Amino acid sequence: MSKRQTAALKLRAEDQTLNDLIVDAIQDIKGKKIIKLDLRHIDDAPADFFIICEGDSTTQIKAISLNVEKRCREELGLKSIHVEGMLGAKWVLVDFFNTVLHVFYPETRGFYDLEDLWSDAEVTEYDDV
């Protein structure tokens, strides 16, 4: 196996570990309607993965976002490169470069409808806990 293939496999494993941790951290705080969009095969996609979920209140949306950041920092030594939307907390974006987490208030999620916007993506749905 070439160095390039080995590096690609390692990157995929790291992405999977991060994505699994993000989903678990969302489930810790009872986030709902969790999906992962795999955007790797889409030209000009802003990231490799979007993970999208929703919370019932701005307090829960903030808690989900903060829990994801905390667990990624503590368990993977990984800090997000950007967080946006915590003030109003109707849509909080947490950017880990290859993976971007979107935590929505239900009406805001419906308005922006990222799932339809990126409908060419491969979708993985997760059970609510």
* Predicted local confidence at residue 11, as pLDDT: 53
The CATH number of the domain holding residue 42 is 3.30.460.10
* Predicted local confidence at residue 14, as pLDDT: 81
* Predicted local confidence at residue 12, as pLDDT: 67
What is the number of domains present in the chain?
Answer: 1
* Predicted local confidence at residue 86, as pLDDT: 93
List per-residue pLDDT tens for the chain, 129 residues long: 555 544 444 556 788 999 999 999 999 999 999 999 999 999 999 999 999 999 999 999 999 999 999 999 999 999 999 999 999 999 999 999 999 999 999 999 999 999 999 999 999 999 988
The encoded tokens of residue 78 equal 């990984």
Amino acid type, 58: T
Identify the CA nearest to 25 among candidates 61, 67, 53. Answer: 67
Identify the CA nearest to 105 among candidates 116, 89, 87, 94. Answer: 89
Burial profile 42-52: b = 16 or more Cβ within 10 angstroms, e = fewer: eeebebbbbbb
Q: Is the pTM for the entire model greater than 0.75?
A: yes
Separation between Cα atoms, residue 27 and residue 50, nearest integer Å? 16
What are φ and ψ of residue 45, in 5° steps?
-65, 145
Separation between Cα atoms, residue 105 and residue 48, nearest integer Å? 23
* Predicted local confidence at residue 5, as pLDDT: 45
* Predicted local confidence at residue 62, as pLDDT: 97
Range of the domain at 24: 3-125
